[in-house]
Chains A and B, each alone.
Chain A
């Protein structure tokens, strides 16, 4: 245990500070323009994206960055996914809202290098010095010489890659910062965009797999005799933890699966209350993430203490997990919707006899990601089915499997304590919280070293305000099911707790919630940006203007690796149901590449956050998730749509992510608005069921 003891110290809280502030890299090291781009005879330019398009608009942003330096129109660039055999590779997957931010310089550099490389080729062809050449609209010019990039490419057998030139200054941007339509827009409107599920290989068969619906269930016995005789069935493939069927159609495969009688061994009787008990402050390993001043000693006297809880949540991406595997000999070709090609390739190599070099993976468009496609996948099953059937196999999770056999956002528990000084400012604050991990699913070896997942599940737990005494501690709870990444990672739960508590402290101080927050911001760095964003939001959203008595108004703010999101929500109660009328989101994400792309992400994060804040909750009975489909896992529909306004802060700072930051402050802003309207403080998610519980109690008390 020496290692554990050693790890439990300043080193971990130092690491935690580092993790909170670090912007992660792209995981890409190859910036050879001939790897990224191909100049085509039809005057288009193919760009191979090492980051996947899951709706976040990364193809559009990348095309804009490339077009800026290539001197072509954005629609000249045809972006496609890089595969493991063509295009640049990313070892970091796609996530953390960092694709555009981490490649903002690199993509422009690689595009500028391609431009100079084309000029170099033209200079050789025309025997004109490079300095005399100019580029515009996909053409190279020199005096009377003029040729398209495609023509130069046609005449060039071997490229001599040019030196990377200095990048154009922001003051000369033609494309970056301007409104740009999505490059995938028309395909998605015509139903022509290809997702993983749309993969269709000649001779392909369809797989279906029976998994244990119970946590940790092992296959004891199975009777497959009926399934073997079912029409269309080509192969039954039993494995240690699952049974697969390959058939000529999906329907035949799924029908045969229902005829298998399987008996699972598992630890019974695990229920929601057990998960709540397991995730409780004080249980498991603890790591101090932040320890400024002397919070514990300062928290005496008139202390305010509140407890918060958030439930287990599903990603519920519209496209379930999908892998099409085509095994031939010692090679496999895979087409899939994944956020993490590298991880998929490594796990296949670990769990089969295939070598990494023999595993070819081509990503397709993703029907949503939200963190679900970072890790656990069904590629190994698809490979085993393809090998057994001697055919390409299309393997899709059912919705029930997507819910019961994927991984989930862990439940959390938070205890916050604070004391105000004589002037009504926060003198000391402590945030203790317990959570299942989000990172250890992929990195189990990190658990004994780190003790608790302060990097990912702990993201957003630190108190970012200027307060003399602050302590933040994470407790690592053990859960019998798999927990992992979810949009915004730990920020969703942590921001709910900390920004609800800020409101409670503001109430105790008798202060306006917005002013109370800005008074704890100071005037440097991110806190200065937080303050000015809050003030701008307050002004534009009419925070200080009078409102009807039937409307509640709440505010919250969060910060995600240099991006700040502040939100004001207005709510109403209709028959004791929370109705969100208006959401005003302000975001400071540094330099903006595509304002339309940012607005889409902010609107989308707002809707997903409303869904998780008001309704979403996975329950457990008899060691399995109760929810099996959308009839018992409620998510938002059009009916829940409020008026959403997006304020984009002008900035010349480096770009930072926009996909996750705006999600986090929505839940506490709703809770704060409900309190503003009713005086009822909801301290657990989902808020609607917390409010229902409150009214039920009220009724009993009458």
Chain B
């Protein structure tokens, strides 16, 4: 079926199997490779993106549900290295990534968390983000999200 959707402010139309996971459309059709595959069952969060502002695990989200919707992936979280999202700024400051593979998903989850909870406590973060990282960057992720919340507070309101 024809799928029309917006990814990172660009309008796309694809002909795709309606049951195909959104992840493969993002990666293999729109060629945005920052969103990763980890488990295929919405368990690890490596494929996390925002769909109309909601946090979605795209490996288990059929493209037909994305019809007409607005998707943000890691590539659209900021406009480039000089205009980083507070989450990315904090990620850089704390130097979170090791292999880096799960980090896009973590950053998308963290960015969403700060939208719904501007001042999360460490326990809030631990209870809301269940993504998996195998390199063990967890202590730095916690630190970076707390720091990003501070950066966001300091941002002038638009």
Contacts and interface: CB of A to CB of B under 8 A. Distances in A.
Given A185-B92, A186-B92, A641-B139, A368 B99 contact: yes
B86 interface: no
A185 B95 CA distance: 7
B33 A198 contact: yes
B132 A318 contact: yes
A318 B43 contact: no
B135 A190 contact: no
Contacts of A195: 36, 101
B31 A318 contact: no
A56 B73 CA distance: 26
B28 A249 contact: yes
A255 to B, nearest CB: 8
Interface stretch (A211-219, A429-437, A600-608, A618-626): A600-608
B40 A398 contact: yes
A250 B28 contact: yes
A228 interface: no
Contacts of A466: none
Given A318-B102, A367-B101, A629-B41, A251 B95 contact: no
A200 B33 contact: yes
Contact of A55 (B44, B99, B104): B99
A638 B129 contact: yes
B99 A191 contact: no
B58 to A, nearest CB: 12
Interface in B111-125: 125
Interface in A560-608: 596, 600, 603-608
Given A55-B98, A318-B101, A250 B134 contact: no
B8 to A, nearest CB: 11
Interface residues of B, number: 60
Contacts of B35: 191
A422 interface: no
Contact of A605 (B107, B136, B142): B136
A290 to B, nearest CB: 32
Contacts of A641: 126, 138-139, 142
Contacts of B46: 318
Contacts of B24: 249-251
B43 A604 contact: no
B134 A370 contact: yes
A190 B38 contact: no
Nearest to A601: B98
Contacts of B138: 607, 636-638, 640-641
Among A186, A190, A600: residue with most chain B CB under 10 A:
A190
B156 interface: no
A498 B6 CA distance: 58
A190 B75 contact: yes
B142 A367 contact: no
A181 B95 contact: yes
Interface string A611-638: 0000000000000000001110001111
Contacts of B44: 318, 630
A607 B100 CA distance: 16
Contacts of A356: none
Contacts of A54: 99
A252 B17 contact: yes
Contacts of B134: 315-318, 368, 370, 608, 635
Contacts of A192: 34, 75
B145 to A, nearest CB: 9
Contacts of B98: 55-57, 600, 604
Nearest to B99: A55
Contacts of B99: 54-55, 318-319, 365-369
A184 interface: yes
A250 B138 CA distance: 31
20 contacts: A55-B97, A181-B92, A187-B100, A189-B84, A189-B96, A191-B34, A191-B73, A192-B75, A194-B33, A195-B101, A249-B17, A318-B44, A365-B99, A365-B100, A367-B36, A596-B95, A604-B137, A629-B40, A629-B41, A639-B127
Given A189-B91, A605-B136, 8 more contacts: A185-B97, A200-B33, A232-B17, A399-B41, A596-B95, A603-B139, A630-B41, A638-B126
List 5 tightest A-B contacts by C-beta distance, closest first.
Answer: A191-B34, A607-B136, A55-B99, A367-B101, A188-B100
Interface of A: 54-57, 181-182, 184-195, 197-198, 200, 206, 231-232, 249-252, 255, 315-320, 365-370, 396, 398-399, 596, 600, 603-608, 629-631, 635-641, 643-644
Interface of B: 16-17, 19-21, 24, 28, 31-41, 43-44, 46, 73-75, 77-78, 80-81, 84, 88, 91-92, 95-104, 107, 125-127, 129-142
